[in-house]
Amino acid sequence: MGIRVGRTASKEQYGFVYKRDKLSKIGEFQFNDTSDAFEREPLIVRFRWSAGIDFTLIPMHAKPSDAVNEMNALIQVYEESTSIYGNDSIILGDLNADCSYVCQSCWSGVQLRSESAFHWLIADDVDTTVSNSNCAYDRLIVTGDLLSKVCCADVFRFDTHFNLTQDEALAVSDHFPVELKLISDPVITTQATASPQTTSDTSPATSSSYVTSNASPTSLLSYVTSYTTSETSSSYTSSTISSSTYGTSPIDQTQTVTEGNGSWKP
């Protein structure tokens, strides 16, 4: 668990919960935000999966009114992480990367989106909110050779899965988790880069169909959850690696990375 972060009296912490028989933590550091670029500076953690894959998770809960600047500041976080652990990383969390917080004309100024190293796997037309809004606030961004080991990025609609009303779902979280699967067998990358379109609206293009695989999976029942806690409320940002966290059948040689954000009521 990281230190309490935040500019105001309301503080949050990033933390990870994981099964030690499947995942090992092999490194971590809290980003030293000397320029005060972040409301909640990220905690960077390096994991080793028992299938032989090392990867770094960089969770982020962006300040809504400063989402563009904080997303661009994540490049410095990524570069520092890469200098220590290498470039196989997943940037994930509530980036507030849509709707009124990132206007269509603003995307051309988001370097985290335009630079080819960063592969955005949650498309702009995806809804990650439980309420009646339609916004892709929560994102999964993969870098390095890890891109060849992921597939199936999606939103986990826990309301549908558990047959919840909207009020019941909102009692759990105001965001849906987003997830992807890590696969130990090689996959063939076909497309994953989201680059700005050359159209007048300057809106970025994304692809939700980005990998193909002939992998034959084995059961991997492990998960890692990153979350933030607040001194004044029960709020969290989570990223879960699991093949059965939500009661689904195990999938062989596959791990699912899930990220979600919202108000949590135990």
Residues labelled as active-site residues:
12, 61
In angstroms, the CA 23 to CA 184 distance is 14
Q: Which of 106, 112, 114, 135 is nearest to 123 (CA)?
A: 135
In angstroms, the CA 181 to CA 251 distance is 10
Radius of gyration over alpha carbons of the chain, in Å?
17
What six digits make up the tokens of 121?
């796997």
What six digits make up the tokens of 45?
């953690």
Query: Counting beta carbons within 10 angstroms of the beta carbon of residue 20, is it exposed (0 to 12), middle (13 to 18) or buried (19 or more)?
Result: exposed
Backbone φ and ψ for 115, nearest 5 degrees, come out as -75, 135
Q: Percentage helix, strand, coil, to 5, in the chain?
A: 20, 35, 45
Q: Buried b vs exposed e over 79-116: b needs ≥16 C-beta within 10 Å?
A: eebbeebbebbbbbbbbbbbeebbeeeebeebebbeee
